[in-house]
Amino acid sequence: MELWHILAALAFLMFIAEIVLPAFIVGTFGLGFLCAAAGAWLGLSNSWLFALFSAGTLLAFFTIRPLILKWGNTPDKKISTNSAALIGRTARVVQTIVGEEGGRVVIDGDEWKAVAPDGQTIKENQYVVIKDIDSIVLIVALKNE
């Protein structure tokens, strides 16, 4: 087995390890090994292989890694799921809501208990905006049209 085979295998192993360790640290070494494998395939000396490995790793670490972290790690773009995705949406009242006693609303074909915390009475077939969720109870306000 030639040296470039070993270096290419190491690069492959680094990329596999990167799947398990998602910080794109190990992947930078994989790119370094890939550069060194290309140099070994061309028949360059060991000092050149070390230089290619170092250059490939550093280049990946300082150029590609910041891009991957920027695009892949977006805590500011939180995606609402399940009941949290209902906040801000409009629902139709199917049973009159009397303040904190509550009533029922329908959204997306599902019926939910709803309350109007400001003591407001909201009649059937009116539309409300979901302001918050407390367990399985929607907190709503009359929609201004």
Mean pLDDT of 97-111: 92
pLDDT tier, 132 (very low <50, low <70, confident <90, very high otherwise): very high
Residues 2-36: tens digit of each pLDDT? 999 999 999 999 999 989 987 788 999 999 999 99
Residues 22 and 66 in one domain: yes
The count of structural domains within the chain is: 2
3-state secondary structure of 93: strand
Mean pLDDT of 46-71: 90
Which structural domain range is residue 136 located in? 82-142
Mean pLDDT of 104-124: 92
What are the residue ranges of helices labelled H in the chain?
3-20, 26-41, 46-59, 65-72
How many other CB atoms are found less than 10 A from the CB of residue 36? 29
Residues 67 and 7 in one domain: yes
Residues 44 and 88 in one domain: no
